Amino acid sequence: MAGGAVKYRHLSRDSAHRRALLRNLVTSLIEHESIQTTWPKAKEAQRWAEKLITMGKKNTEASRQKAQGMIFTNGGVALSKVFGDLATRYASRPGGYTRVLRIEPAKEDQAPSAILELVDGPKDMRMALTAKTIANLRAKAEERGETEMRINDMTAHNVQKVTRFREGGEEALEAMVQKFEALLEEDDEGVEELPKKKHVYPKQERSRG
């Protein structure tokens, strides 16, 4: 990039409207831990959120003043969370405080959609998906009469990702796995095996020449 200028998405808005949009998105992210928007907006808001949380970890007067210009204060709730809960949550994490997950748009003519979330929090989708995968793997191992489940490299990688910097990460993951296991047991209770599906119509006989 010429002159070292930072390239960013304009999001079809002028500078003032773009800034207001990003402030709104990032404020919602901080307050709710997860937001759904278009892919371009999610990626640009992610950059803002990463900078904002880094400022919270620095916790200086200068960083606090800069942070006030990046989010809507809403009575100070979001700002307090950045410099309080989130600074503590991510104290040992060198970066990567957020995650963007691409999802299918509700309608075919809509722009690509995404979920932007704070990692290691109560709404961490990768944590939930990993826990659900492990619960299913354990159930399949039990059906086969095996004492240990078979886990592939991707699942092992996800386990490491969701527990590495989370305080009590392994315990939290196991607790969520057990919740999914309980749901699987509830689904199985009272379910009778159905007879094999029969053809509604008889097969067509081949015409004889």
CA distance 200 to 176: 43
Specify burial of residue 171 (Cβ count, 10 A radius: 0-12, 13-18, 19+): exposed
Helices (H), the chain: 15-32, 39-58, 61-68, 77-83, 85-89, 125-143, 153-163, 169-188
Residue 207 has pLDDT above 80, yes or no: no
Q: How many CA atoms lie within 13 A of 94 on its CB side?
A: 0
- Does residue 83 sit in helix, strand or coil? helix
CB count within 10 Å of CB 180 equals 18
Residue 192 has pLDDT above 70, yes or no: no
Segments making up each domain of the chain, as ranges: 12-118, 125-188
In angstroms, what CA-CA distances link 47 with 6, 39, 86, 203? 12, 13, 16, 60
Of 193 and 178, which is predicted with more confidence? Answer: 178
Identity at 108, one-letter amino acid code: E
CA distance 107 to 126: 24
pLDDT digits 0-9 by tens, 84-141:
999 999 999 999 999 999 988 767 767 789 999 999 999 999 999 999 999 999 999 9
Topology annotation, domain 12-118: 50s Ribosomal Protein L17; Chain: A, (3.90.1030)
* Tokens linked to 66: 């800069």
Please tell me the predicted confidence (pLDDT) of residue 75.
Answer: 74
Radius of gyration from C-alpha coordinates of the chain? 24
Residues in the chain: 209
pLDDT digits 0-9 by tens, 44-59:
999 999 999 999 999 9
CA distance 137 to 121: 24
